[in-house]
Amino acid sequence: MKLHYEVDGEEFAAAGQASGNIKKMLKQLGIASDVIRKISIAVYEAEINMVIHADGGTVDVDIQTDKIYIALKDTGPGIPNIDLAMREGYSTASDEVRDLGFGAGMGLPNIQKNSDFLKITSAVGVGTTVEIEVNL
Amino acid sequence: MKISKIKEILTADTLAGEERIDTEVICACGSDLMSDVLAGEAKEEFVLLTGLVNPQVIRTAEMVDMRAIVFVRGKTPTPEVLELAEEKGIVVLSTKCPLYIASGLLYTNGLRGAGSVETAL
Ligand SMILES: Nc1ncnc2c1ncn2[C@@H]1O[C@H](COP(=O)(O)OP(=O)(O)O)[C@@H](O)[C@H]1O
Ligand SMILES: [Mg+2]
């Protein structure tokens, strides 16, 4: 089963809507609660990143028999050094974003912690794709 | 501890989820950093104490199924934020108490944090 969501990059207030909808859908499908928790946290952090660091984008979910695959794609500024970005505490977020409770450089580490597979593909000036898998 | 008891201890107002005020919570966490909340152990029976009042506080609670949020230091959220909380079924309280005092009051009244003091140290 495949799901598709658009994420508006203009509105910080709306960030998390896609994650909320995905969570609701997984609940309805009767997916195990520990799996839902991991996906909710990972996708929410990635959706927030898409809004605070890029210009919004798309979220695609593929519910397979043995795992759930999620791809978050944006056409934002890209990540010049992914290893550096993955480091806990590394952040280029503005003070404005920090005042809202994010931007502590914990998003990508949180995503890593809550996924069974994580792949970040990024090109400067082109965009970033974050692929997450959680096993069922 | 019932959320209604938290309300009483903190002389708080109920801003959303009034009909769920008698729900039980067993743990609390206090933070102004949502990534920290998401990295922690917060789940269903948790209440979040925070000085932030933006919609992402509600979303963060939603992602980990937290039942209640207490806004400290008399912070007032926008009606949109409260609507979102109603929609998600999250109880929202507001107290004049600052974070540290609110946490201390709840702790001394028996509401603990995740894990034991020994594991926290
Ligand atoms: N979608 C994205 N587009 C561009 N840069 C990103 C994106 N996601 C993450 N980054 C970069 O990686 C850094 C670390 O991300 P993260 O761990 O989520 O921390 P934070 O969002 O708190 O800064 C960000 O500060 C940013 O520089
Ligand atoms: Mg982030």
Looking at every residue in chain B, the average pLDDT score rounds to: 94
pLDDT tens string B82-91: 999 999 999 9
Q: How many domains does chain A divide into?
A: 1
Give the residue-averaged pLDDT of A110-115. Answer: 97
User: Which positions 29-88 of A are in contact with B (Cβ < 8 Å)?
Assistant: 37, 40-41, 44-45, 48
Is B11 part of any domain? Answer: yes
Q: What is the pLDDT at residue B117? A: 72
Q: What is the pLDDT at residue A106? A: 95
Query: Which CATH number is A84's domain given?
Result: 3.30.565.10
Q: How many domains does chain B divide into?
A: 1
pLDDT band for position B120 (cuts 50, 70, 90): confident
Is residue B16 scored above 80 in pLDDT? yes
Distance A47 CA to ligand 2 centre (A): 8
Give the residue-averaged pLDDT of A60-79. Answer: 98
Q: Which residues line ligand 1 (CB under 6 A)?
A: A 45, 49-50, 53-54, 74, 76-79, 85, 90-93, 102-108, 128
Query: Which CATH number is B58's domain given?
Result: 3.40.1390.20
Sheet holding A117-123, edge to edge: A2-8, A56-63, A67-74, A127-135, A117-123
Structural domain containing residue B28: 3-111
Buried b (16+ CB within 10 A) or exposed e, A85-119: bbebeebebeeebeebbbbbbbbbbbbbbbbeebe
Of A40, A44, A101, nearest to B52 by CB-CB distance is A101
Give the residue-averaged pLDDT of B36-52. Answer: 93
Give the residue-averaged pLDDT of A114-119. Answer: 98
Structural domain containing residue A80: 2-135
Give the residue-averaged pLDDT of A24-45. Answer: 97
The structure tokens 């502590």 sit at A104
Q: What is the pLDDT at residue B14? A: 98
In this prediction the ipTM stands at 0.94
Is B28 part of any domain? Answer: yes
pLDDT band for position B116 (cuts 50, 70, 90): low
**Identity of residue B5:** K
Residue B34 in tokens: 């949502």
